[in-house]
Amino acid sequence: MCLFKRLFDKMLALIDEKRQVTMAMISAPIKDIQFLAEQLFNLEQHYQKIPKYTDIDAATFETVVEEASKFLFEFAAPLNRNADEQGCRIKDGHVTTPDGFVELYKNYCESGWSSLDGNPDYDGQGLSYWLQTIIGELNCYYCAGWSNYPGLTHGVRELLEQHARKELQQQYLPKLTTGEWTGTMCLTEPHCGTDLGLLKTSAKPNEDDSYQISGTKIFITSGDHGLTDNIIHLVLARLPDAPKGTKGISLFVVPKFLDGKRNNVWPASIEHKMGLNGSATCVMNFDDAKGYLIGEANKGLNIMFSMMNGARLNTGIQGMALSSASYLGALEYAKDRLQMRSLTGVKYPEKAADPIIVHPDVRRMLLTQKALSEGNRALTYFTTQQIELSRHAEDEETRKRAHEMVQILTPIVKAFMTEMGLEATNLGIQIFGGHGYISEHGMEQLYRDAKIFTLYEGTTGIQALDLLGRKIMQFNRGSLGPIADEINQFIQQNPDNPYTQELGDYMQQWQEIIIEVSKKSMKNMDEMGAASVDFLMYSGYVLLAFFWAQMYQSADKGGRFGQSFYNGKKKTCDFYFKRILPRAQAHVKTMQSGSANLMEMLEDEF
């Protein structure tokens, strides 16, 4: 517990030392986070299954989350609007982040947030991945443009721990763990995005164990900045004798500074973007930059997937975080903004008009935001628990089962949650009306920031093909695997839940859809492509139905969060099943329509 005390003493000292600008946003929904952790997913019971985390109890968990939220509210939230307006700048090959980011990053690392779940062997605190995931959620909630700097570093650190040789681990992991250095992943090139088999960046071996890396990478998040003394790039490149395509890709660690000297890797420019302007997105030139091989030659793409999958999960979480921020901002506005009178009679006679929250259509939008953001948070935490079990559970069968679930859940988390993030932030603008379209209230910034999450780490279409083609059809041979077992078990054990019968019907339909698409795809693979996005969205809606049914069950039992809180959960569940879940049937009809309505039109007929 001394680690916790040291962490919070530092954090509180920093807040007392510097009181920044007042509230730039609404505080994160800590009660919702704790409700899920304690009551829905029983964190203490979960951690009893993982020996290394058995001392994490509900009080510890809540303390960490609350103090992280206080820190970020104090130091990160006030920077959010300026980060968007000022953006990043580049001059003479050096990128500068928005004002305040350098100090924020320094305080963040000194307070211990960057090292929360880090390996104690490398100066980490050894806490749980789930807690670190929530820190990532809060980072994005309070200042999305800032959140990528610590977020990607976390992924670089994990990859090196899993795949790098001991010498490289000892050289890079201590400072990556504490946050003294940051990290990037360099995949995309001007001529190739998702199809990495086309990449041209080269790696030529030197006489020692190093390589000369040459090529240009684009869309590199946090590619350059002044937050740290060094940046550690993970770079995909080809050796001279490498096979063509994805089987000839190797992975290298290429630091910005090596042995105190500047390596020959430079930002050529930064992208001018629709949103997320506080995050430096760079074009990076590698000109015989010195790097070192990670793992086996020509196995780089397989290794990089360990970080890419983590990045996809984090991207989904970012979509959920902005959904939540938009909802809470819109809710506060709807309670204050006066506009017309209620259709059923005056509700606030002492006011010139009623608050817009009395109007059915405003409630439709607010409840949609609430149902999507809170449902997706449940999906996030469930997935995070499965990741922890897949890594640390004592018995092999539990680890295998959890791994299978994570494989299927990852593309859904990434794609469904980011698409819903875009919908929720769009509704936030709509609730504000004209005030949402101007920058003063920050709602249009949330929408612009959220858009990129549907694109990077693989677009929605790419995630959908991965889910249906690789995870369901190839790996699971047409089965939903342990996810179906998990949901069906809940249905069987809770026959009195008013939503389990409908959920059971959807589970049966989900499997029938897989069989139908599989049969069609055997004759024409375009059927797979035509159905994939609708299948992914259908899957997301059914999963959220599962979690809302669970939240209803938990809320019905009550607890320490107050009756109005639990009533709100139960009524949101009812809203979800009656007004959101029916969307799934539209996706069924679209899938059943087949590929002909997409593919028969000739190119010159467009």
State the SS3 of 173-214.
HHHHHHCCEEEEEECCECCECCCHHHCCCEEEECCCCEEEEE
pLDDT recorded at residue 7? 53
- Mean pLDDT within 273-296: 97
Q: Where are the beta strands (DSSP E) in 18-132?
A: 89-91, 94-96
The predicted-structure confidence for 479-491, as pLDDT tens digits, reads as follows 999 999 999 999 9
Percent of the chain with pLDDT over 90: 91
CA distance 343 to 358: 9
Q: Is pLDDT of 501 > 90?
A: yes
Residues of the chain with CATH 2.40.110.20: 183-298
Q: Is pLDDT of 72 > 50?
A: yes
**Cα distances (Å, whole numbers) of residue 19 to 16, 78, 530:** 7, 11, 54
Q: Is the distance from CB of 453 to CB of 319 less than 8 angstroms?
A: yes
Percent of the chain with pLDDT over 70: 96
The predicted-structure confidence for 103-156, as pLDDT tens digits, reads as follows 999 999 999 999 999 999 999 999 999 999 999 999 999 999 999 999 999 999
pLDDT recorded at residue 6? 53
Q: Is pLDDT of 21 > 50?
A: no
Tokens of 478: 């047409």
Q: What topology does CATH give the domain 183-298? A: Butyryl-CoA Dehydrogenase, subunit A; domain 2 (2.40.110)
Look up the pTM and report it. Answer: 0.94
Work out the pLDDT band at 305, boundaries 50, 70, 90.
confident
Spatial CB neighbours of 111, under 8 Å, sequence gap ≥ 6: 7, 10, 11, 14, 71
Which positions are catalytic?
Answer: 457
CA distance 569 to 209: 58
- Mean pLDDT within 328-356: 97
- Mean pLDDT within 273-295: 98
Q: Which helix (H) or strand (E) holds 519?
A: helix 500-523
CA distance 411 to 408: 7
Q: Is pLDDT of 1 > 50?
A: no
Spatial CB neighbours of 149, under 8 Å, sequence gap ≥ 6: 97, 101, 105, 182, 222, 225, 227, 279
**Cα distances (Å, whole numbers) of residue 17 to 24, 27, 75, 107, 139:** 19, 21, 12, 11, 21
So what's the architecture of 2-178 in CATH?
A: Orthogonal Bundle (1.10)
Q: Is the distance from CB of 238 to CB of 189 less than 8 angstroms?
A: no
Which residues does residue 251 pair with via DSSP β-bridges, in sequence order?
236, 294
- Mean pLDDT within 221-248: 95
Q: Is pLDDT of 582 > 70?
A: yes
CA distance 60 to 17: 25
Helix 482-493 / helix 500-523 crossing angle, nearest 10 deg:
150
* Greatest CA separation for the chain: 84
Q: Is pLDDT of 2 > 80?
A: no
The predicted-structure confidence for 196-207, as pLDDT tens digits, reads as follows 778 999 999 999
